[in-house]
């Protein structure tokens, strides 16, 4: 009996490892990987759940830095400049709207600020940076992450078809994904599904946007009167910039830069599979109605308004 249970667990791990290798093969795209990960976890469970969060964290950072080797500094600066005003406006609007909606729902101020911050900047990363400053409870953190996680997964699936239906250009879609989708992983995944130019635009604007974690952290210290709290800086963004500079000014053989960017895209697909595998029915239920109303309302508002701004202004 014990031996039989051991064999089942072993095969379970082998099947999961096979799915990981398949994600790295290049034969599967981001949305399929996300759904596949969720389906695997739903029917079989996650055999390496304790390592999932750390694996996602490192794979995403490696993938993003690697994508920098396929980008040019002149184009990157132009895209960053184009997205600056929209970034500032959308962050300000999201934080103010989040405070108003959260207050009308009588939602706990910590949950309100965490969900608003995650929507405004970069999802789970912003929540992880802000939570220690707030001294937020484990429940508030978990609920906020659950809301953002669910909406991220949904965005990854629906944004590319919406972009195609609206006939958005690669540039327009990349800009829209960077502004309207929470986590960097889902932004890059959706843009990757749409096209190479969309991927470049989305990655650049999203990572520039992620740097706003720093002023947001100081704002949180001020608003919630939390002195002597450290501010987390997303250092991997500077490695991403270094990769772009290296690709722009050093004579790196094309075969090397292509290999790095191809591998990075495979790592991104694997990241999305692991995100899907980390989802669970229990986690989705844990989010609750009021936090979900806040998160969904902010997400819809910023998605619609940013799309109108990109398309017509």
Buried/exposed code over 290-303 (b: 16+ C-beta within 10 A; e: otherwise): bbbbbbebbbebbb
User: pLDDT of 35-70, one tens digit each?
Assistant: 888 888 888 888 888 888 888 878 878 887 888 888
Out of 54-63, 110-119, 166-175, 187-196, pick the least confident: 54-63
Radius of gyration of the chain measured on its C-alpha atoms = 19
φ, ψ of residue 4 to 5 degrees: the values are: -65, -45
What confidence tier does 217 reach under pLDDT thresholds 50, 70, 90? Answer: confident
pLDDT at position 1: 47
pLDDT at position 64: 77
The answer to whether the beta carbons of residues 164 and 197 sit under 8 Å apart is: no
User: pLDDT of 23-41, one tens digit each?
Assistant: 898 888 777 887 888 888 8
d(CA 255, CA 212): 35
Following DSSP, what letter does each residue of 175-197 receive, concatenated?
Answer: HHHHHH-SSHHHHHHHHHHH-HH
For residue 72, give every residue at least 6 positions away whose Cβ sits within 8 Å of its Cβ, in sequence order, or none: 244, 247, 248
Q: Which among 58-62, 151-155, 169-173, 181-185 has the top mean pLDDT?
A: 169-173
Q: Find tokens 């005003």 and name the residue.
A: 85
d(CA 252, CA 230): 38
pTM for the full predicted model? 0.75
């Amino acid at each position: 009996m014990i031996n039989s249970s051991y064999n089942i667990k072993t095969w379970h791990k082998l099947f999961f490892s096979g799915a990981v290798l398949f994600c790295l093969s290049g034969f599967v795209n981001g949305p399929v990987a996300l759904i596949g990960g969720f389906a695997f976890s739903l029917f079989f469970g996650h055999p390496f759940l304790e390592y999932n969060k750390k694996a996602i964290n490192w794979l995403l950072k490696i993938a993003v830095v690697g994508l920098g080797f396929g980008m040019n500094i002149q184009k990157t600066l132009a895209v960053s400049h184009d997205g600056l005003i929209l970034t500032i406006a959308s962050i300000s609007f999201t934080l103010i709207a989040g405070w108003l909606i959260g207050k009308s729902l009588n939602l706990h101020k910590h949950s309100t600020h965490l969900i608003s911050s995650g929507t405004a900047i970069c999802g789970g990363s912003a929540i992880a940076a802000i939570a220690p400053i707030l001294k937020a409870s484990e429940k508030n953190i978990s609920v906020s992450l659950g809301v953002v996680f669910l909406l991220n997964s949904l965005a990854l699936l629906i944004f590319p078809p919406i972009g195609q239906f609206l006939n958005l250009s690669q540039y327009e879609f990349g800009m829209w994904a960077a502004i309207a989708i929470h986590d960097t992983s889902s932004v890059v995944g959706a843009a990757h599904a749409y096209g190479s130019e969309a991927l470049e635009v989305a990655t650049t604007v999203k990572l520039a946007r992620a740097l706003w974690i720093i002023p947001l952290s100081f704002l949180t210290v001020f608003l919630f009167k939390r002195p002597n709290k450290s501010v987390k800086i997303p250092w991997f963004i500077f490695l991403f910039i270094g990769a772009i500079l290296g690709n722009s000014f050093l004579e790196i053989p094309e075969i090397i830069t292509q290999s790095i960017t191809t591998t990075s895209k495979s790592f991104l697909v694997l990241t999305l599979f692991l995100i899907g595998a980390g989802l669970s029915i229990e986690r989705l239920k844990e989010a609750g109605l009021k936090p979900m109303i806040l998160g969904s309302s902010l997400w819809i508002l910023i998605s619609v308004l940013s799309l109108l701004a990109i398309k017509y202004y």
